[in-house]
Structure 1
């Protein structure tokens, strides 16, 4: 073997043993899946009523931006699904404003490692409409 392959093989062996081969062993030796962490961490609170035209306007604005490059309505992509964002945040003005600022400024850390790029060309009013639509996806 070449000197390069020996360390790489040892590395693969170490990673396989250290990771437990993709599962955890119970006392009887069966391999079970590791528990899945809930990444949504819902914030308690009631939704506020929002006019339907704001939700529709936000949906149109989202469709004309690059949001769907990283987000999907009902499934994770590079970023969280809009439905998961709606499950985390109640549809209240304080969270609409928070998400509007994140749309404009960008952000990281709320959903793990993905980085949301800033969208400085979006006005605060448009970003509020977009955030309102996103927070309405699981209710609309």
Structure 2
């Protein structure tokens, strides 16, 4: 009987420890003064066409991007300015981010899931990425 009691006490202790850890993590994530740090990919920026940036801004505005993103602050997803700080303006990253807009994804910025947007053409998605990446140049 002592052994069973010991295992029950240990199991309860483990459950309570895990729950307390989860509560601390949720509090940390919901903290308004949390300064999220993220890695920045080094690289030189390629020049952007101002006309592409304007078209991209219109496309971002007319799609559902602002349901999950804001330009300056994190919403469900990362702020556009944070995205623009992370990625250099290079063809490889523009292509990758355009595919992510179209097919969706998860894990890059933590827990939120990027919804797929299969109706957006690859060309339009690239224009949207040009606009987003241009925000770091302001």
Q: How high is the TM-score relative to the length of structure 2?
A: 0.75
State the superposition RMSD in angstroms. 2.4
Structure 1 residues 50-101: Cα deviation after superposition (integer angstroms, max 9, x where no partner): 1100001000000000000000000000000000000100011111110000
Q: Distance in 2 between matches of 1:120 and 1:62?
A: 15
Within the alignment, does 1:77 sit opposite 2:83 as a pair?
no
Q: Distance in 1 between matches of 2:84 and 2:36?
A: 18
In the TM superposition, what is the alpha-carbon distance from 1:138 to its structure 2 partner? 2.0
Count of aligned pairs between the two proteins: 115
Partner secondary structure for residue 108 of structure 1 = strand
Structure 2, unpaired ranges of 5+: 1-11, 25-33
Within the alignment, does 1:113 sit opposite 2:111 as a pair?
yes
Q: How high is the TM-score relative to the length of structure 1?
A: 0.74
Structure 1, unpaired ranges of 5+: 1-9, 23-34
When you count helix as a share of all residues, which structure comes out higher?
A: 2
Instruction: Kindly report structure 1 stretches of 4+ aligned residues shifted beyond 6 Å.
Output: none
